[in-house]
Structure 1
Amino acid sequence: MSCSCDTHTTALMPYSDALSLLLDTALPITEAESISLAQALDRVLAENITSSINVPPADNSGMDGYAFRNEDTKHFASLVIQDTVFAGDHLSTPVKEGHCVRIMTGAHVPEDVDTVVMQERTRVEDGRLFIDGECKTGDNIRKAGEDISKGDVILKKGRKLTPSDLGLISSVGINQVKVIRKLKVAVISTGDELKPAGTALEPGQIYESNGIVISSLLKRMNIDVIEFGIIPDIPEEIERAFIQANQQADVVISSGGVSVGDADYVKPLLQKLGHIDFWKVAIKPGKPFAFGKLSESYFIGLPGNPVSATVTFDVLAKPFLQKLSGMHASPTLSIPATTASTFRKRPGRMDFQRAVLHQTVDGSLQVSPTGNQGSGILTSVSLANGYVVIPAEQGSISEGETVHFTPLSTALRESD
């Protein structure tokens, strides 16, 4: 008798439980270092950044135009142009009654004026300014502290610094920041069948791809990678690599060897050198995902199939690494969209189906699978811009139904 559901799911840990255990286990590293802003992109702040100044530090003009006391426009038909103030200048003489100054965008507004009119609303005749229409007091003046006030916390500990963050820090006069040291992650690929790209294949062999994918994802996360390359299915060599990796890294990530085959040596080795917290998760792709601890490092065992390795890294390992690095992760987006075709699935495991979200002519959002969803079809990830996450108990989804789309993490997406 045939069955329409995934089998052997009773011993599998639900995805939410696995993710919670990973995050609960991760103890953020606390070692920090002070570096220059030029080195700080994508680093994680080790302390809050507090401004010691107002930004802007003084009132300044938001327009090229003329600065004056608005009250004077009620008593004078025109104003005498007394002086010109450029950005970086400071007018030391008071602006006389019935007078104004020519002022440039960003220039310091003299203390005894309160309004700026844009030059397009003015005309000048014989050194006198005529204003078209009325102005409101305070027009076109950026007030001191309008963006940032002295004493404000502008960025909080745990933030991963973006280019605009660096500009914000520089705008308050800070050129050094204290950041969490980079994580060190060792990457190991296991399997007699694996050969590096650029070499000849023998019968039964395949080119290794997991190592380059995982190392690249880690580098995009600004993590220091220790690459061990391909280790054959020889228990002594695998053990030697694990011992060295454990001594050098905060986290050891391997791919392959955590399933139930005769040559899957990683699981028993981990039991010898440390302990396993779990090694089966009720997700597809990626059921044989292992997590545990060595004597000096955490261990993550990714499945050997390339799609399974990539997806489990993205949805399980990445959040763990982010917390370990001291970073505050952003909430995962879930975007409702309409299916443009059928998503095939059997009930049993939560499914992260690789998909493409696009906007139709009428502005609605539609999502389509990226073809064959097999765990060895790496093109399904390369073509995707996200996942349709289908609950464990759900079966196939027909065209025209509403689903939830989750964008790929920035580490996996194509760079702009």
Structure 2
Amino acid sequence: MKTESPIPKTLSEAIDFIAGYIEAFPSSVEMPLADATGHVLAQDLTAPANLPRFDNAAMDGFAVRSADLAGGGTGVQLRIVSTIAAGQTGQHEIGPGEAARITTGAMMPKGADRVVMQENARLEGNQVRLFTASTDKAHIRRAGDDIAQSDLILEAGTIIGPGQIILLAALGFQSVSVTPKPKVALLSTGDELRDAPAPLIPGQIYDSNRPMLSMMLKAAGAEISDLGIIGDDPDHLLRTLVGAAGDHDLIISSGGASAGFADHLTRAVSQRGHLEFWKLDMRPGKPIGFGDVDHCPILILPGNPLAAAAGCAVLGRPLVHCLAGRKTRQDGWLRLPVSRSFSKPLGRTHILPGRLVTDPSKGMTIADPLPERGSASLHTLSQATVLIMLAGHQANVDAGDVVDVLPLWQA
């Protein structure tokens, strides 16, 4: 971990601070390709072979020599000397006046330099009449047209998804070197919290933040240790944090971050580490803190559900991405017009839960804030798919203005 930056006050400063503070895993593990989805590539990969590996037909048709098609607009007749199906390994060759029937993906025969698709051909016994010209498209996939041997195909820091899997499988990779998934300890704080289905007494509520944050962090690529609910006991809280710091890469908590008399979390962090920042100019989510306990980074999220979700989306996910060595730290941010006007204090980032809709007049995607029900509304949060970010420099935002939009539940 490293930092020489000023104490962040804004969300953008906090994002930059975390990117400079966290160092990615130096270690890597070799993993079977079938298990690698969602992991981050630990080293650059180059192609061990060409793709395609050999010249092959791009269409069903007839492999021919261009020299035989001169003036072929009225129909050139050629003798069929072989039929070549995909997967055949025998050596085929055609000479002047000859053609080979060929299927898509089959290896091109020697002597042929184009494929006439079957729609432009008519069989006449053991001959074929072609209605094409030597200037028409060749319909051949050349060896190395897609990827040449030794080309850089994937860079370290790339997250492995279905697109990367298909490429690696086609090139014959059976395993890849990836960074381990960051181990994240997750806890909630507060005497008022209970886990369902335990009975509630007046004044108690079920902990909804921890299940939500667990899903968000797993989607981001973390391995979660659920430490449960820690009550408002400062000694127990400190022991829990110190225990988690020893064998985790990150601690994330929700609740206990405000200035209330029972909010011991920030004080506990300062006893065994350092609080790098606490409170940002953003709403919801002002009492977000970040620091370390025994050299393990900790992100302190508010107990307000929307604030916790927003804090995890804008800071928790980037933390996991940085620890895993992902190449980019703001994956998925969009720039879209907003559907209606807003006014807010200058200097503060305002985060609105919303969803993507289609503007009926223009047919384009826009960001539509959900109706205001208060920042603690779980109903609103359940309907949201994106966070609409109104930046600190914006005091008045008009309908149609372009703003930052962050998918809420993405990886």
TM-score class normalised by the smaller sequence:
over 0.9
Given candidates 27, 35, 40, the residue that maps to 2:36 is: 40
Structure 1 segment 198-237 matched on structure 2, within 5 A: 198-237=197-236
Sort the Cα spacing of 1:258 and 1:96 in 2 relative to 1 into closer, same or farther, 3 A.
Answer: same
Q: Which residue of 1 aligns with 2:299?
A: 300
1:90·1:110 contact (CA, 8 Å) conserved in 2? no
Structure 1 position 113, deviation (Å): 0.5
Structure 1 segment 4-153 matched on structure 2, within 5 A: 13-74=9-70, 77-136=76-135, 139-153=138-152
Q: Which residue of 1 aligns with 2:3?
A: none
State the AA in 1 paired with 2:375: S
1:114·1:138 contact (CA, 8 Å) conserved in 2? no
Name the SS for the 2:17 alignment partner.
helix
Sort the Cα spacing of 1:405 and 1:385 in 2 relative to 1 into closer, same or farther, 3 A.
Answer: farther
State the AA in 1 paired with 2:368: S
Structure 1 position 371, deviation (Å): 1.5
Name the SS for the 2:115 alignment partner.
strand
In 2: Cα distance, 1:230 partner to 1:34 partner: 35
State the AA in 1 paired with 2:200: L
1:289-339 per-position Cα deviation (integer Å, ceiling 9, x unaligned): 111111141111111111111101101121122111101125553323142
Q: Which residue of 2 aligns with 1:194?
A: 193
For normalisation by structure 2, the TM-score amounts to 0.92
Name the SS for the 1:186 alignment partner.
strand
Q: Which residue of 2 aligns with 1:377?
A: 377
In 1: Cα distance, 2:8 partner to 2:95 partner: 81
State the AA in 1 paired with 2:392: A
Alignment RMSD = 2.0
In 2: Cα distance, 1:178 partner to 1:304 partner: 38
Sort the Cα spacing of 1:363 and 1:320 in 2 relative to 1 into closer, same or farther, 3 A.
Answer: same
1:26·1:324 contact (CA, 8 Å) conserved in 2? yes
Sort the Cα spacing of 1:364 and 1:217 in 2 relative to 1 into closer, same or farther, 3 A.
Answer: closer
Structure 1 position 349, deviation (Å): 1.7
Sort the Cα spacing of 1:262 and 1:272 in 2 relative to 1 into closer, same or farther, 3 A.
Answer: same
In 1: Cα distance, 2:164 partner to 2:85 partner: 28
Q: Which residue of 1 aligns with 2:319?
A: 320
Gaps of 5+ in 2: 1-6
Q: Which residue of 2 aligns with 1:336?
A: 336
Sort the Cα spacing of 1:393 and 1:156 in 2 relative to 1 into closer, same or farther, 3 A.
Answer: closer
Structure 1 position 167, deviation (Å): 0.8
Structure 1 position 344, deviation (Å): 5.3
1:12·1:282 contact (CA, 8 Å) conserved in 2? no
Q: Does 1:259 align with 2:258?
A: yes
1:194·1:230 contact (CA, 8 Å) conserved in 2? yes
Q: Which residue of 2 aligns with 1:387?
A: 387
In 2: Cα distance, 1:96 partner to 1:243 partner: 79
Aligned length: 400
Gaps of 5+ in 1: 1-10
2:55·2:140 contact (CA, 8 Å) conserved in 1? yes
Sort the Cα spacing of 1:176 and 1:393 in 2 relative to 1 into closer, same or farther, 3 A.
Answer: closer
Q: Which moved further from structure 2: 380-389 or 191-200?
A: 380-389
2:242·2:294 contact (CA, 8 Å) conserved in 1? no
1:21-72 per-position Cα deviation (integer Å, ceiling 9, x unaligned): 1111011111111011000001100111111111111100000100010101
Name the SS for the 1:248 alignment partner.
coil
Sort the Cα spacing of 1:372 and 1:197 in 2 relative to 1 into closer, same or farther, 3 A.
Answer: farther
In 1: Cα distance, 2:377 partner to 2:397 partner: 21
2:193·2:229 contact (CA, 8 Å) conserved in 1? yes
Structure 1 position 392, deviation (Å): 2.6
In 2: Cα distance, 1:206 partner to 1:345 partner: 32
Sort the Cα spacing of 1:259 and 1:298 in 2 relative to 1 into closer, same or farther, 3 A.
Answer: same
Q: Which residue of 1 aligns with 2:167?
A: 168
Structure 1 position 388, deviation (Å): 2.4
Structure 1 position 396, deviation (Å): 5.4
In 2: Cα distance, 1:69 partner to 1:217 partner: 58
In 2: Cα distance, 1:99 partner to 1:40 partner: 48
1:122·1:131 contact (CA, 8 Å) conserved in 2? yes
1:386·1:405 contact (CA, 8 Å) conserved in 2? no
Name the SS for the 1:78 alignment partner.
strand
State the AA in 2 paired with 1:217: M
Sort the Cα spacing of 1:364 and 1:88 in 2 relative to 1 into closer, same or farther, 3 A.
Answer: closer
Structure 1 position 364, deviation (Å): 3.5
2:221·2:321 contact (CA, 8 Å) conserved in 1? no
2:70·2:133 contact (CA, 8 Å) conserved in 1? no
Q: Which moved further from structure 2: 233-242 or 363-372?
A: 363-372
